[in-house]
Structure 1
Amino acid sequence: MVGICGILGDPQHDIDAIDHTIEWADHEEGGVYRDDTVQISHSVHRESDAHQPETTREERRLWIWGDVIGFEDSTGYTPREGTDVSDAAYCADLLRSHGPSFVEGLNSEFAGVILERDRTEATLFTDRLGARPIYFTDELDDSVLFSTHLNSILAHPAFEPSVDDELLSEFLTLERTFGIYTPFEGVSQLHPGSTLTVDLETGSTSLERYWVPRYRPIDRPYDEHVREFSSIIQRSVEERSDPSATEGLFVSGGSDSRLLLSLLADDVTGYHLNDSMNTEAEIAREACETAGVAFRFLQREPDYLTDVLERVADFQLFQSFFDQAHFAGFEDELTDEVDAVFSGHTADTILEGFYLPTREVPVPHLGWTIPLPVLEPVESVSSYAEYIVNDYQYHRGSSTNTQPAYVTLDKSPVAVLREYMTESADGIVHHGVTYPSLDALAHAGGFYPITNNKAYFTYYTANQMLPTHYPFLDNRVIDFSLSVPHRHHVRRSIVNRTLTERNRALAEIPKAGIGLPLTYPRTVYSVAELWRSFKTNIVPDSGSGGGSWSDNAAVLRETNIAESHLLNEEHAERCPAMIDWDEIEALYRRHLEGENNYFDLYAVLSLCNSYPAKNDLVAPR
């Protein structure tokens, strides 16, 4: 487990009880720093980043974990040059020249600590989107306990976890707890785009937000948006690529990875994960061949998700179910073959309006809806809460305002959401995160913080395995996204258009699942999606599948993952009081008989195999 953890303040709370919680594998580098005011442990992939803290001439000390590629101040943006200087040394130089406010201009994903010279204050900081979240509690006497992993907080003997039933039900229903909250009282994330200064004598804290998403659309010809984005994404990829390193790319049958293929050197290796060489896999291979790069097929075995559950269960963040750790079962192959890997993850979220509210048309008598590329205005926080619960993009569940059958909490999901959402003249607070307007909430609510994304665990676990680059999380891409009118986000695909202009041969390869080239207008895809939905719902065996992810319903029926990792007395005893175990067993029986209850079963599999459950931190005491 790579990351940072520590105790700021009273030295009686020893870090030895928790430093192991940020260790993912034996090959990681790191160390522990101690003085009479702080204890900080760090773990990193690269030996060059292991020397921390970095000390400035003013004797400030700095630790950082992330992917740091440039800096912007009043004079403009300056990309980082070369890789011969460690992240910590690069940031320490910025700390010397700009003071602690350098964090505001740092690009792109990171979490870190600054210890002042006189040892009276320490400052925690994170990137704009909280992509590398910092969890913390100030409930230890005169101290703050923090970590880039939730388990570090829960593992400390001086902290006694208490489950928040409402937020745990939110995780089980919607696959994450939103905003800065966790299912444990007194434990939260650091607000995205912020710093938290800790008084090391008293343990008191002061939060300062240095960035919030402000939706400021620029009304101009769409071609101008495309030209600007094409320039931004090219620089974003170039600044992350290291010619001296062996690099890979996660390749799918869609457009995001193809755009990255068009920008990377031809010595990259494309990695595609699938059960078989189905339609999506063949398209991914064709994309690699067209780009002139090597193609590597990672084939899942029938018990793959059981292996993934066993590998990642201890690292559950309550920000995705276990199966979102898609590549965790191929850690050895990836780390043996490449130094770093690129990913197109989050492109649809940030650039394609994936979480923007759009209209859905119900189909009478069939019980399903048709999504339309038409914006649905958000008029209040209540309507936004309803949207989260009912929209098919926001979660993989049944899209109804009900808890899983085994949750006994007498409160609807939308009521739980509304409990943590407020609106005032100063903006909206959604689960502890501040948005300046309803437009900003609608635009950025799915990625600010990035842990609001239902597939966050894909990002997190890939970063734990090896250095991973995410060009679509670049500050310049985020700023660009906020400048594009919402109508373009939902009606057009800037990724498809940019790819078409950069490499038409790649764009003309059909998109998996749709069967149409990426050169077509987005409205045509909407019609194709409608036809695919029709075939899937009316003629289930129509052959309209062939994607890259597992058939989760079949996994539960055809493997023993539920019997071996859920349905036994040991796991029943681990459950919190709000869980009805008999309902879990009944739900599983109905699933075996033909219902599709995989989502609710994956939720409780994720919970019962997590670190806090296995250490009796969620069951009644």
Structure 2
Amino acid sequence: MVGVWGVIGGRQRRSEAPIETLCWDGDEVVETTVADEVLVTKSSHGAVEDPVRTDGHDAIWTFGEIHGFEGDTYENRYAGCYTDSTYAAHLYRRHGLDFARGMNATASVFVHQREHDRLAIVTDRLGTHPVYYAETDDGIVFSTSIQAVLAHPAVDPAIDTHGLYSYLAFDRVPGVDTPFEAVSTLPPGAITTVDLATGDLDTERYWHLEYEPLDRSFSYFVDRFVELLQQVFAERADDDRRYGLLLSGGSDSRLLLAAGEFPVAYHLADWMSREARTAERIAFLADADFRLLERLDDHVERMLDHVPRHMNFNGRFDQAHLHGFDARLREECDVLATGLYGDSFFKGGLVPAFDLDLGPVGSVTPPIERDIESVDDYLDVLDGSLPPFIETPPELGAVLRANLEERPDGSVSFHGIEYASLYELALFGPYYPLSNDSDYHYFGLTQMVPQWTPFLDNRFVDLARSMPVRYHLRRDVVNAALSALSPALATVPHSETGVRPASRFPLDYAKRYASLFWRKHVTDERSPKPYYSRGPWRDRGVVLRERGFGREVLERNDALLEALPFLDREAAYACYEAHMDGEDHTAALYTLFTILEMPAVEAIAER
């Protein structure tokens, strides 16, 4: 899967799709459909029979994957011979657009309803495959790519400063907003219809994420978690696609290896570090073929050269970790499974907690929940800051407050998305909608390879939002499930902490920080190069100092630095030099490089 782009309106249909933005590496199949007042272009890896026609000649396109349907009983999509769009058409025939309410998917679905003369766009519960749109004088432009929307000549690229400052401070723009005044994001869990004759747009929300904890024992949640894992793998038992697993030295992806059969396990690294050796041992115990994806030395520069043109202002270019291996992965497996969001949803990632800075010793996160009783409390949790190269920077708190509305019933709206309370905004805001995630890893995967992220299944999300805070913070359902499914895999120590997943809290908590302290300050393995690490990721700050490509990026974009009204050119160079002299401006500089290499940003200066 790669992307969808479309236009609505008579004159708009004559526009050409921005193919370069929709295609990741040029090997995609691109299909364009023109019907009535709508044009839709879809690019994908491999031939896909989209659109699928219904008996009434309505047309359906799907971007992502539909897993099943939650009605009176659960319907498993993989039990039949369906593609995603043929299954969406099957659901549409039975339920009309109300199929969205029961759809278990990580996908957006586009339905051209010819009889009603409208286009309907359905987003899944979390908005895992965002859709962006802009209204023009003659219709609407929509796409899974912000930059593809902006490529249309009728779309004004004027900057929304609040959205831009949010991206510069937090590496994402929350809710339905973007850094551009004319471009918005369709909300998650919604059915949006566009009248093809008038261009009128109407959005109905069919689902909201709410926290509904159950007062049940920890063993109840472990049992339910294990049951769900076994169920989602059993549902794919008849799926004849070749599955591979992206394996780390932690416990989330290891748990998937314990629950299902993967003939191949891939690990991304620079060298056979402690994490790589741990992943190799795990793969051996699970009888999976271990394959090391060993990065080239110029991996970061290669990402910078390719990735920014595909990004949607969430995350940084250097988080497209599998870039350069995508063609190999598509050749060797049909679906790549990942354990992404397992830690976010089940290992304390949702709950606002304290980070205690212990100076040179490091930092500690006590398993204690933070109180969120006021807007100030929430802003403290965000803990962001604008980089030093902003021209006339605003007060960040004022920017955030301007987009947060408190209501008499205690609910809040933040950047156009409603939450039941400030607390639930703090709880779910980083991942609801999923485009709020400030890490590009998942979104890069959706561009590069057909992938499966089990923990985004509706049923896992429902389980996570029903777990009491005490279990999120002080217990570990993932490790408990791993011990239940594979005691052998649970005895292999975590590569980073050195603690076995089978350990129990609070012993696990104490051992984890003791081990981290010992490895950081007393003894640790030496890496072949200064920027290699014992884990899966490079030290990006050291990469910048050692490889020295930063100044070339700034000089290559010198005219753009001068032209963009929100950047201070001299301050950008000064920030880079300060980093090279030992200060840490890694995040700010990588965000700046991402922006400078985006075609959409270059278009701002040109217009």
Aligned-partner residue type, residue 332 of structure 1: A
Deviation at 1:382, TM superposition (A): 3.3
Whether 1:413 and 2:396 are equivalent positions in the alignment is: yes
Aligned-partner residue type, residue 433 of structure 2: P
Aligned residue for 1:308?
303
Deviation at 1:425, TM superposition (A): 3.4
Aligned residue for 1:231?
227
Deviation at 1:478, TM superposition (A): 0.5
Whether 1:320 and 2:315 are equivalent positions in the alignment is: yes
The 1-side partners of 2:427 and 2:54 are apart by 39
Aligned residue for 2:341?
346
Equivalent positions of 1:24-63 (< 5 A) are 24-47=24-47, 50-63=48-61
Deviation at 1:200, TM superposition (A): 1.5
Contact 1:343 1:471 survives alignment (8 Å): yes
The 2-side partners of 1:526 and 1:543 are apart by 26
- Partner deviation per Cα, 1:116-137 (whole Å, 9 max, x = no partner): 2325221111111110000011
Aligned residue for 1:70?
68
Q: What SS does the corresponding residue of 1:387 show, helix, strand or coil? A: helix
The 2-side partners of 1:585 and 1:388 are apart by 27
The 2-side partners of 1:242 and 1:592 are apart by 54
Aligned residue for 2:570?
582
Deviation at 1:491, TM superposition (A): 1.1
Contact 1:169 1:409 survives alignment (8 Å): no
Aligned-partner residue type, residue 98 of structure 1: H
Number of residue pairs aligned between Structure 1 and Structure 2: 601
Over 3 Å counting, the alpha-carbon distance change for 1:278 and 1:362 in structure 2 is: closer
Over 3 Å counting, the alpha-carbon distance change for 1:46 and 1:413 in structure 2 is: same
**Structure 1 unmatched ranges of 5 or more:** 390-400
The 2-side partners of 1:204 and 1:5 are apart by 19
Deviation at 1:261, TM superposition (A): 0.5
- Partner deviation per Cα, 1:279-337 (whole Å, 9 max, x = no partner): 11111111101111010011112211111111212112110001110111211221221
Equivalent positions of 1:243-262 (< 5 A) are 243-262=239-258
Contact 2:497 2:516 survives alignment (8 Å): no
Correspondent of 2:546 among 558, 561, 570: 558
Contact 2:482 2:490 survives alignment (8 Å): yes
Aligned residue for 1:143?
139
Aligned residue for 2:188?
192
Deviation at 1:164, TM superposition (A): 1.9
The 2-side partners of 1:561 and 1:242 are apart by 48
Aligned residue for 1:290?
285
Over 3 Å counting, the alpha-carbon distance change for 1:5 and 1:180 in structure 2 is: same
Whether 1:21 and 2:21 are equivalent positions in the alignment is: yes
Over 3 Å counting, the alpha-carbon distance change for 1:412 and 1:537 in structure 2 is: farther
TM-score normalised according to structure 2 size = 0.94
Report which stretch shifted further, 53-62 or 408-417: 408-417
Over 3 Å counting, the alpha-carbon distance change for 1:541 and 1:52 in structure 2 is: closer
Aligned residue for 2:530?
none
Whether 1:108 and 2:92 are equivalent positions in the alignment is: no
Deviation at 1:541, TM superposition (A): 7.6
The 2-side partners of 1:343 and 1:291 are apart by 16
Aligned-partner residue type, residue 3 of structure 2: G
Deviation at 1:568, TM superposition (A): 3.7
Over 3 Å counting, the alpha-carbon distance change for 1:92 and 1:567 in structure 2 is: same
Aligned-partner residue type, residue 5 of structure 1: W
Q: What SS does the corresponding residue of 2:465 show, helix, strand or coil? A: helix
Contact 1:180 1:190 survives alignment (8 Å): yes
Equivalent positions of 1:495-514 (< 5 A) are 495-514=478-497
The 2-side partners of 1:541 and 1:501 are apart by 32
Q: What SS does the corresponding residue of 1:402 show, helix, strand or coil? A: coil
The 2-side partners of 1:616 and 1:337 are apart by 38
Aligned residue for 2:385?
402
Report which stretch shifted further, 326-335 or 235-244: 235-244
Aligned-partner residue type, residue 270 of structure 1: A
Contact 1:571 1:608 survives alignment (8 Å): no
Aligned residue for 1:132?
129
Aligned residue for 1:174?
170
Kindly report the root-mean-square deviation, in angstroms, between the aligned alpha carbons of the 2 structures: 2.3
**Structure 2 unmatched ranges of 5 or more:** 528-532
Aligned-partner residue type, residue 401 of structure 2: R
Q: What SS does the corresponding residue of 1:603 show, helix, strand or coil? A: helix
The 2-side partners of 1:445 and 1:190 are apart by 16
Whether 1:159 and 2:155 are equivalent positions in the alignment is: yes
Aligned residue for 1:547?
535
Whether 1:519 and 2:502 are equivalent positions in the alignment is: yes
- Partner deviation per Cα, 1:142-179 (whole Å, 9 max, x = no partner): 41211011111110011120112232122122111112
The 2-side partners of 1:540 and 1:563 are apart by 35
Deviation at 1:82, TM superposition (A): 4.1
Report which stretch shifted further, 472-481 or 575-584: 575-584
The 1-side partners of 2:521 and 2:262 are apart by 43
Aligned-partner residue type, residue 55 of structure 1: R
Deviation at 1:241, TM superposition (A): 6.0
Over 3 Å counting, the alpha-carbon distance change for 1:151 and 1:26 in structure 2 is: same
Correspondent of 1:387 among 381, 385, 396: 381
Contact 2:390 2:568 survives alignment (8 Å): yes
The 2-side partners of 1:497 and 1:409 are apart by 51
Whether 1:451 and 2:432 are equivalent positions in the alignment is: no
Deviation at 1:429, TM superposition (A): 1.0
Deviation at 1:369, TM superposition (A): 4.3
Deviation at 1:185, TM superposition (A): 0.8
Over 3 Å counting, the alpha-carbon distance change for 1:540 and 1:441 in structure 2 is: farther
Contact 1:215 1:439 survives alignment (8 Å): no
